[in-house]
Amino acid sequence: MRPINVVTRYSLKCLVCLMCFLMCSACSDSSTAPQVRVPAFQDNSNCVCTTISPRGGAVRNVSNVGELREAVQQANRQGNMTVLLEDGTYILDQMLWISGDQVTFRSRSGNRDAVILRGQGMSGSVSHIFNVVGNNFTAADMTLGWVANHGIQIHCDSDAPLIHNVHFVDTGEQMLKMSYRPGDSTSSDDGLVEWCVFEYSAGIGPQYYIGGIDAHQAHNWIVRHNVFRHIRSPGGDLAEHAIHFWSDSGNTLVEKNIITNCDRGIGFGLGDHGHIGGIIRNNMVHTARDVGIGLENARQTVVYHNSVFTENYANSIEYRFSRTQNVSIVNNLTNAAIMSRNGGGGQIERNVTNAQASWFADPGNGDLHLVTADPTVIDQGLPLGDVTQDIDCDPRPRGNGYDIGADEL
């Protein structure tokens, strides 16, 4: 289970070729026992939210909705443009449709709380803030939401978006959506979502058809260092996961996120709409009604070093359905079971599933840092060469070995 290579976000296209090669190799090599193929995401993200570098192109400053709309029109005509928003609240009366390539929206101050883009509320007439069909879209350092559908929608084949330090609030459906069209095989590839907060201000969502990140047919996305709060359905049906990649999505990296008080945590696949490859590691997940990490028809996925605190449900991690094969679930710390359902198969090793609330700093708010050095947890993990940090970017291993779960003491 050594990493195959050193790969960064900027060489993900090489990774696609590599994964292609590996998948083909795995399929054609029927003479040996199946092995989990670990994708080559290096474990080197930085636990400091740094300002993104200028994206290039023309720069236009805006300070009101009229100027913002004019800037969008210019950006869609010419592409390659940065729109800097002055501090203030921008109340939209319709969504912003982004068709230009290489278009960036960010606050000039860099203060996420000081630039607010909002619609007319979750039952209002504004469907989105950003509805994106261009490539290389960037949104950074702002707050957005109070819309009927999605805060940001990325359409299929809109590649390499960057969503950085954005606070999503109160959307009528999923907060960040990567959509696909049935019969259209194009995909949104190489996206990065980092240092964002996704939450419902009332502590609960407006209906069940909500979620944090909902991605269909998306490939090579990275979701890291984000916080998800209160993504919960008010009724009997469950909300979608805080982070959900499905409908033939693949090679997703989900790491160092904190999820708290959500119905479901992290999902790869759902029912027949599966997922291939990918890594879920070093996350802290607290769910209030259902599974913390769910693999459904997800194959060749690794789930390493997560801490999961599950309330009102029997399983912290599930691997489910017959096409869930060759998954590896190792060194996770949970308070409920790790369970195969409906024929899911995998390598399940060195997990601790009887964690007590008292072991964690503040489990009801998703802080699953260890406050107790339980001897079944400390230094008891299986050595994994491709996990070199914990959720805090503390180096692993420390002491005499790898600590189970997301936190190395």
367: contact with Ca ion by CB under 5 A: no
The CB-of-50 to Ca ion minimum distance in angstroms stands at 20
Burial call 296-326: b when 16+ CB within 10 Å, e when fewer: bbbbbbbbbbbbbbbbebebbbbbbbebbbb
Q: Which of 239/393 has CB closer to Ca ion? A: 393
8 A C-beta contact, residue 394 and residue 403: no
- Give residues 142-171 in contact with Ca ion (rule: CB under 5 A): 157, 159
392: contact with Ca ion by CB under 5 A: yes
Q: Which region, judged by CB under 5 A, interacts with Ca ion, from 55-63, 113-121, 141-149, 182-190?
A: 182-190
The CB-of-215 to Ca ion minimum distance in angstroms stands at 13
Phi and psi at residue 231, in whole multiples of 5°? -90, 85
Q: Which of 296/408 has CB closer to Ca ion? A: 408
Q: Which of 173/390 has CB closer to Ca ion? A: 390
- Please give the full DSSP string across 366-385, using - where no structure is assigned: TEEEESS--TTTTT-SPP-T
359 three-class SS: helix
Q: Site for Ca ion (CB under 5 A): how many residues?
A: 13
Query: Applying CB under 5 A, which of residues 89, 185, 394, 395 lies at the interface with Ca ion?
Result: 394
Q: Which of 241/305 has CB closer to Ca ion? A: 305
- Sequence length of the chain is 409
Query: Applying CB under 5 A, which of residues 403, 404, 405, 406 lies at the interface with Ca ion?
Result: 403
Q: Which region, judged by CB under 5 A, interacts with Ca ion, from 33-41, 114-122, 360-368, 383-391?
A: 383-391
390: contact with Ca ion by CB under 5 A: yes
350: contact with Ca ion by CB under 5 A: no
The CB-of-154 to Ca ion minimum distance in angstroms stands at 10
Alpha-carbon distance of 208 to 240, in angstroms, equals 7
Q: Which of 159/296 has CB closer to Ca ion? A: 159
Q: Which region, judged by CB under 5 A, interacts with Ca ion, from 103-111, 208-216, 341-349, 373-381?
A: 373-381
Sign of CA dihedral 71, 76, 82, 84: positive
Query: Applying CB under 5 A, which of residues 86, 367, 374, 379 lies at the interface with Ca ion?
Result: 379
The CB-of-27 to Ca ion minimum distance in angstroms stands at 23
8 A C-beta contact, residue 372 and residue 341: no
Alpha-carbon distance of 202 to 110, in angstroms, equals 26
Alpha-carbon distance of 96 to 312, in angstroms, equals 40
Sign of CA dihedral 55, 79, 127, 189: negative
8 A C-beta contact, residue 338 and residue 315: yes
Residues of this chain that bind Ca ion (CB under 5 A): 157, 159, 187, 189, 379, 390, 392, 394, 398-399, 403, 407-408
